Structure 1
């Protein structure tokens, strides 16, 4: 199991950073490994990713969500993938965004990439891109302020 964690401080209020993160279909604009995200329902998404030359498709469900605090997810289709993102206000106009996720590399290429820390470097770069994206806009592209009660374990996150 691979674990990746990254933190970035963004110069926007917590509600702006959080609201933008709920706009999953915008992820390809700042996540280089994400080709597309299709929101199927308020709590389920279909992902197409390409990391280290390996394309994956999988579905995720939001299992715990509290506005301006956290969003936790896990895969629903048998592939091991789970994570949580937390939003902590630093002051009225600055927010700490911390992502933690776990996934199981399947192919030899994915395992080699994990050993070389390719996934960690990509998450670090993507979090910087999120910072640039939200700070350059100054506002979110949309918002979903719903809550999801924790529906069970999401791994060791």
Structure 2
């Protein structure tokens, strides 16, 4: 069986959870979608009954949600006498107040009107138009009081409800309360840790001060020792040359006197011989 595939992307200027809640308020679709005449969602089994207008005729579908994860994606299958729609929609946060929706729809037509409309891609144009109606609804009505739009936040896996709407809401509220309490607890726990480094820094600052005070004393003693050494060396140097200088001239004087005496002795001997 041939089918038509449609992929549409649209951005909504509201937070992710608000857009998701507005989309999953299935019963209100006929209020803003032009061709949706009736919509009813059964929370007990995750099915929906849809009725819409196709050209001049009216068609009904029964949709079953195969998988639904809050604030993430929804996948559904449907059946109908004159064709049906299967598809998926996913939600992607682009910012604090901007959400992108990606819709993929497979249209399986049955009947003369459906096949004729499929030739002209009428379903694709209708899908784009209904998405614009949804954006207008969110940006003009939901934006005024976003908390009043609750939607259906249950979780479905393999066509079975694993978490009901109330269970998911309670879990989300508990997580929000815990997230609000965590900063206070963490700040109290961090206080002792901050004091410990401060004490360590104070001790580290005191230790180097003591070392700096001791070091100069050692250096001063070393300097004094160095000053004493030159005195000893100076004394040694002064005594040795003084003794040598004094002795040398004395020796020279004595030597000169002996030489004179030796010269006088031969003269006296010569005079005696001459006599």
CA RMSD, 1 decimal: 1.7
Contact 2:4 2:118 in 1 (8 A): yes
Inter-CA distance 25–106: structure 2 relative to 1 (3 Å threshold)? same
2:155 equivalent in structure 1: 147
Find the residue that maps to 1:104 and give its secondary structure.
Answer: strand
**Residues 118-157 of structure 1 aligned to structure 2 (within 5 Å):** 118-137=122-141, 138=143, 139=146, 141-151=149-159
Contact 2:61 2:84 in 1 (8 A): no
1:19 equivalent in structure 2: 21
For 2:57 and 2:99, the matched residues in 1 are separated by 33
Alignment gaps of 5+ in structure 2? 160-275
| Offset, 1:76 | 4.9
Find the residue that maps to 1:148 and give its secondary structure.
Answer: strand
1:113 equivalent in structure 2: 117
| Offset, 1:27 | 0.9
2:48 equivalent in structure 1: 45
Shifted more, 141-150 versus 2-11: the winner is: 141-150
Cα deviation code 1:89-148 (max 9, x no counterpart): 010100001111112111111111111111111111111111110011212633211111
TM-score, L = length of structure 2: 0.52
Contact 1:65 1:150 in 2 (8 A): no
Which has the larger share of helix?
2
Cα deviation code 1:32-78 (max 9, x no counterpart): 22111012335111111112223111211111111111111111567
| Offset, 1:80 | 4.1
For 2:117 and 2:80, the matched residues in 1 are separated by 23
Contact 1:7 1:127 in 2 (8 A): no
Which has the larger share of strand?
1
Shifted more, 48-57 versus 8-17: the winner is: 48-57
2:31 equivalent in structure 1: 29
**Residues 82-121 of structure 1 aligned to structure 2 (within 5 Å):** 82-121=86-125
Query: 59, 64, 82: which is aligned to 1:61?
Result: 64
Q: Which has the higher contact order (CA 8 A, sep 6+)?
A: 1
Shifted more, 69-78 versus 108-117: the winner is: 69-78
1:71 equivalent in structure 2: 74
Contact 2:15 2:99 in 1 (8 A): yes
Query: What is the total number of aligned residue pairs between the two structures?
Result: 151
Alignment gaps of 5+ in structure 1? 152-157
